[in-house]
Structure 1
Amino acid sequence: MTWTVDAQLALTSTQAVEAIQSGRLKAADYVATLLARAAALSSLNALTTLDLDGALAAARRVDALPPEAKAQLPLAGLAIVVKDNINTAGLQTSAGTPALENFVPKTNAPSVQRLIDAGAIVLGKANMHELAFGITSTNLATHAGPVRNPYDPTRIPGGSSGGTAAAIAARIAPAGLGTDTGGSTRIPAALTGIAGFRPSVGNGGAERRYHDPNAVVPISHTRDTVGPMARTVADIALLDGVITGAGPLPVVGLNGLRIGLPAPLWAGLEKQVEGVARAALNRLEAAGVSMVPVEMSELETLNGLVGGPIAIHEAREDVRAWLVANDAPVRTVAELAARIASPDVRAIYDAVLADQLGARYEAALNQWRPSLQQYVAATFADHRLDALLFPTTRLAAVPIDDVHGSSTVSIDGAAPIDTMEAFLRNTDSASTSGIPGLSLAAGMTRGGLPVGLELDGPLGSDRRLLAIGVAFEELLGVLPAPAI
């Protein structure tokens, strides 16, 4: 079979693996097509490193396998990109910051290694908001530079996993890995029209779904996790199954699902975002989904007492531990911070070094976080909910501000508010409470910008949540490719 370039670029992860396993598509041809796509779209600044030789060599090894061996690889020949704060053996892991720009780890993060062992091929490392401390992926052009949204290159792709999202949306790769501390897989997924997943973390023990200790440039061990991103929810389920060893998704039908609509997360939305989200709700209700309004009036107050103190206090020790464990070129957080390029990230690290929220940490971790977790769990139980549903972000992608990193935004002409707070509001509570969250495409605004819907599930309900996401996506559809 002869594959056109367009046909190869259109393949989802599941489709690409099936075509390569069956011998209908050569992995080397597929990888070469995607590498050429990456080079042609370099202006998006989605990638920091492209592994031309390594990716092609890995693809040829897949092609050389006998059919029965190839069929045993669940990700045979699948091309992926990996966020630049996740350790990859032999490839730069810079976290988008000057002090680490030449750092090359000796080993892969466990999540990366499991994908490679299953046949995946790493095309390269994805750009990101410097040190993952931001949601725009707008970096100073003197270093990593801003990542651009494939649906409108003058706008942000979201962050901090903006490069992974932009590469997937632009058809440079069908899937990849990001990380999520407060929304960093889900926000860029929403703004670029793909799917992004934050797996369960809980309190970090047996409840933690992905285990990558000292293998990711961190912010907070309590909140951080690696998360898969892909063009479809089914593709995320494929990667999640490989990383965790989970079996097939449960079968979930739309009719009879009880989905909670938390009032605080439906308030203050950009009109164009609310219009797309409400239209999606109407379609889901027509298919038999029961939408259950839930007040959750304490959600924002409890979450506000938890998130900042934990992230700002834990970053200092967690980053230091990563630097030492990985024999990085700098060994102290002060050395790392002294070379930060982006003013917004430098200001955050000033707070980290000064431990400005340290006095609030113990209460945040041991009092308010358990209260938040209990509050969220009771919401699911009391209303017999399968999931919560709300727009992933309050607004669609905003223009890139190269000078200030899009430091403020205005929603429908209202008074400007902090950009990070505006985009984090709806995603952050899942992160601070440790439950799983999934963003999938809801549709597009009249101006052609993607809008995402987030599904949050009870702790440990990851595979069922993904199955609900698959059912939603089958009804709502996926977005057309960007015209680039």
Structure 2
Amino acid sequence: MTWTVDEQLALTATQAVAAIQSGRLSAADYVATLLARAAALASLNALTTLDLDGALAAARRIDALPAAEKARLPLAGLAVVVKDNINTAGLQTSAGTPALEGFVPDTNAPSVQRLIDAGAIVLGKANMHELAFGITSTNFATHAGPVRNPYDPTLIPGGSSGGTAAAIAARIAPAGLGTDTGGSTRIPAALTGTAGFRPSVGNGGAERRYHDPGAVVPISHTRDTVGPMARTVADIALLDGVITGAGALPAITLRGLRIGLPAPLWEGLERQVADVTKAALKTLEAAGVVLVPVAMNELDELNGMVGGPIAIHEARDDVLAWLVANDAPVKTVVEMAARIASPDVRAIYDGVLDDILGERYEAALNYWRPRLQRYMAATFADERLDALLFPTTRLAAVPIDDVNGSSTVSIDGSEPIDTMDAFLRNTDPASTSGIPGLSLPAGMTASGLPVGLELDGPLGEDRRLLAIGVAFEQLLGALPAPSI
């Protein structure tokens, strides 16, 4: 069978694997097509590194396998991109910051290694908000640059995993890995018409679904996690299954499914986001989904006491531990911070180095966070909810700020508010409480910008949450590709 370029670019991860496993598509031809796409769309700044020779060599090894062996690889020939703060052997891991430019780890992060062992091929490393401390992916480092949204290159793609999301939306790769501390897989997914997943973290240990200790340039060991990103939830479920060894998704019946609508996360929305997401609710309700309004009056207060103190306090020690464990080219956080290129990140690191929220850390971690976790668990139990549902972000993509990287935004003419706070508001509670969160496309605004819906589920119910997401995306449908 001869595949056109457009046919190859349109393949989802699941479809690409099936075509390569069956021998209908050459992995080498497929990878060559995607590498050419990446080169043609270099102006998006989606990638910081493109592994031309390595990716093609890996694809040829897949093609050379006996048919039976190829068919047994769950990700045979699947091309992926990996966020530039996740360790990759033989490829730069810079976290988008000048002090780490050109640094190459000795080993892959465990999540990356599991994908490769299953037959996946790493095309390259994805650009990001510098050091993952932001939600725009407007990076001022000369080797990175601002990531641009494929639906409108003058707009942000979200962050901090903006390069992974932009590459997936632009059909450079069908799937990849990001990281998520406060919303960094889900926010860019929402703004680029893709899907992004934050797996369960809980209190760490056995509750943590993905285990990549010391293999990701960190912000916070309490909050950080690797997370898969793709164009469909079904593809995310495929990658999640490989990383965790989980089996098939459970069966889901939409009729009678109880989905909570948390009131605080439906307030203050941009009109165009409200229009798209409320139309999606009508589609779900028509299919028999039971939508349950839940007040959650304490959510904002509880969450506000947790997130900032933990992230700002833990960053200094956690980054230092990564620098030492990985024998990085800089040995101290002060030395690394001195070379930060992005104004907004430099300002945050001033607070990290001064430990400006240190006095609030112990209470945030040991008092407020357990209260928030109990509150979330009680909401699911008391209301008999299968998941919570709300707009992933309060507003659609906004223009790139090439002066500050992230400053303020106005929602429908409101008083300007901090950009990071505006985009993090809805994604942050899952992050701070450690429960799983999934963003999937809800639809497009009248001006052609993607809008996302987020599903949050009880701790440890990741596969059931993904199954609900698959059922919802089958109802809501896929978004049209960007016209680039």
Kept after mapping to 1: 8 A contact 2:344/2:406: no
- How far off its partner does 1:143 sit? 4.4
Match of 1:71 in 2: 71
- How far off its partner does 1:111 sit? 0.1
SS of equivalent residue, structure 1 residue 459:
coil
Give the distance between the partners of 1:319 and 1:428, measured in 2 at CA: 21
Match of 2:447 in 1: 447
Match of 2:337 in 1: 337
- How far off its partner does 1:141 sit? 6.0
Match of 1:222 in 2: 222
Kept after mapping to 2: 8 A contact 1:148/1:157: yes
Give the distance between the partners of 1:451 and 1:17, measured in 2 at CA: 28
- How far off its partner does 1:142 sit? 3.6
Amino acid in structure 2 at the alignment position of 1:194: T
Match of 1:284 in 2: 284
Kept after mapping to 1: 8 A contact 2:438/2:466: yes
Spell out the pairing of 1:253-292 with structure 2 (5 A cutoff): 253-292=253-292
Match of 2:191 in 1: 191
Match of 1:298 in 2: 298
Structure 1 gap segments, 5+ residues each:
none
Amino acid in structure 1 at the alignment position of 2:329: P
Give the distance between the partners of 1:345 and 1:482, measured in 2 at CA: 30
- How far off its partner does 1:102 sit? 1.3
Match of 2:322 in 1: 322
1:436 aligns with 2:436: yes
- How far off its partner does 1:406 sit? 3.4
Amino acid in structure 2 at the alignment position of 1:14: T
Kept after mapping to 1: 8 A contact 2:430/2:436: yes
Give the distance between the partners of 2:180 and 2:43, measured in 1 at CA: 25
1:210 aligns with 2:203: no
1:401 aligns with 2:393: no
Match of 1:378 in 2: 378
SS of equivalent residue, structure 1 residue 176:
strand
- How far off its partner does 1:405 sit? 1.2
Q: State the 4+ residue runs in structure 1 displaced beyond 4 angstroms.
A: none
1:47 aligns with 2:52: no
Give the distance between the partners of 1:322 and 1:62, measured in 2 at CA: 33
Structure 2 gap segments, 5+ residues each:
none
- How far off its partner does 1:144 sit? 1.7
SS of equivalent residue, structure 1 residue 292:
strand
Amino acid in structure 1 at the alignment position of 2:50: L
Give the distance between the partners of 1:63 and 1:139, measured in 2 at CA: 37
Give the distance between the partners of 2:99 and 2:145, measured in 1 at CA: 15
SS of equivalent residue, structure 1 residue 206:
helix
Amino acid in structure 2 at the alignment position of 1:241: G
1:31 aligns with 2:31: yes
1:163 aligns with 2:158: no
Give the distance between the partners of 1:473 and 1:285, measured in 2 at CA: 14
Match of 1:177 in 2: 177
1:61 aligns with 2:43: no
CA deviations on 1:266-295 (whole Å, 9 max, x unpaired) are: 000000000000000000000000000000
- How far off its partner does 1:454 sit? 0.0
Match of 1:414 in 2: 414
Give the distance between the partners of 2:458 and 2:475, measured in 1 at CA: 23
Match of 1:476 in 2: 476
Kept after mapping to 2: 8 A contact 1:320/1:332: yes
Give the distance between the partners of 1:254 and 1:88, measured in 2 at CA: 40
Amino acid in structure 1 at the alignment position of 2:58: A
SS of equivalent residue, structure 1 residue 388:
strand
Task: Tell me the TM-score normalised to structure 1 length.
Answer: 1.00
Give the distance between the partners of 1:312 and 1:153, measured in 2 at CA: 31
Amino acid in structure 2 at the alignment position of 1:81: V
Give the distance between the partners of 1:408 and 1:129, measured in 2 at CA: 16
Kept after mapping to 1: 8 A contact 2:97/2:141: no
Give the distance between the partners of 1:44 and 1:342, measured in 2 at CA: 18
Give the distance between the partners of 1:195 and 1:132, measured in 2 at CA: 19
Match of 1:250 in 2: 250
Give the distance between the partners of 1:142 and 1:241, measured in 2 at CA: 37
Give the distance between the partners of 2:307 and 2:165, measured in 1 at CA: 24
CA deviations on 1:333-369 (whole Å, 9 max, x unpaired) are: 1001000000100111111111110000000000000
Kept after mapping to 1: 8 A contact 2:390/2:453: yes
Kept after mapping to 2: 8 A contact 1:397/1:449: yes
- How far off its partner does 1:18 sit? 0.2
Match of 1:313 in 2: 313
SS of equivalent residue, structure 1 residue 128:
coil
Give the distance between the partners of 2:326 and 2:91, measured in 1 at CA: 14
Kept after mapping to 1: 8 A contact 2:131/2:217: yes
RMSD (CA atoms): 0.5
Amino acid in structure 1 at the alignment position of 2:380: F
Match of 1:362 in 2: 362
Kept after mapping to 2: 8 A contact 1:219/1:315: yes
- How far off its partner does 1:253 sit? 1.8
Give the distance between the partners of 1:401 and 1:359, measured in 2 at CA: 33
Match of 1:349 in 2: 349
